[in-house]
Amino acid sequence: MTEQSGKNEIKKESGMFGVSGSGDTSGYGGLVRTQVSVGSTEKPYGGYFDDISNELEQAYPDFSDAIEKVVVDRGELTLFVKPYRLVDTAKILRDKLRFEMCTSVSGVHYPSETNRELHAVYALLSITKNQRIRLEVCVPDKNPHIPSLVEIWAGTNWHERECFDMFGIIFDGHPGLTRILMPDDWPGHPQRKDYPLGGIDIEYKGATIPAPSQRRAYQ
């Protein structure tokens, strides 16, 4: 169920992880939660967020074409960037706005967001100014391609590999996009919400152990 409250979207979800049809063995299948999706924020954002926005607009003539929306929530600034503008935006943030470091690249899976189910979230740090912001890029799970930022921030190398391994996001131009946690022949991407929670036969020394869903009962 979905309701609209201002520019925020409020959803009612069942279960702990939003899983459906894949065997939820978490024990929270009967839980009903309220989830709020924060909408676009209007200026003024407050603090240094306005300075960053103004500087980016001045440095990047195609700012409005690159940024889908700006969200300020819980004291954090997130710029939603269109995939084909990600590299341009990242270069400006590094070279002109002095965001010298990308501290992490995280994947998120929202199965209910049609044609933008997979998100990549980049946490950026300006050591010079002691400022933090986030970039977020959304792509469909049927065509999960995002440009790699390894040439902009070398530290994203292993982060992008983990995001590929766990969520199946393909970072175009990555120098060695291979799995980093799971075996190369592992089927599927374990942190996606359509991935089975249990229910997978495990082989051990030639024997087959029943899947968790066959060994435990959750009320």
pLDDT of residue 153: 98
146, 131 in Cβ contact below 8 A? no
Number of residues that make up the chain? 219
Measuring CA to CA, which residue among 34, 33, 92, 30 is closest to residue 67?
Answer: 92
Q: Kindly state which CATH superfamily the domain 40-181 is placed in.
A: NADH:ubiquinone oxidoreductase Nqo5 subunit (3.30.460.80)
Residue ranges per domain, the chain? Answer: 40-181
pLDDT tens digits along 156-205: 999 999 999 999 999 999 999 999 998 888 889 999 988 876 665 555 56
27-59 burial, b at 16+ Cβ within 10 Å, e below that, comes to eebeeeeeeeeeeebeeebeebbeebbebbeee
Query: In whole numbers, what is the pLDDT of the chain averaged over residues?
Result: 84
Cα separation values, 32 from 4, 11, 28, 29, 126, Å: 18, 10, 9, 8, 39
16, 31 in Cβ contact below 8 A? yes
6/43 Cα distance (integer angstroms): 16
Each residue's pLDDT tens digit in the chain (219 positions)? 333 334 666 666 666 555 555 555 555 666 676 666 667 899 899 999 999 999 999 998 888 889 999 999 989 999 999 999 999 999 999 999 999 999 999 999 999 899 999 999 999 999 999 999 999 999 999 999 999 999 999 999 999 999 999 999 999 999 999 999 988 888 899 999 888 766 655 555 666 666 666 655 544
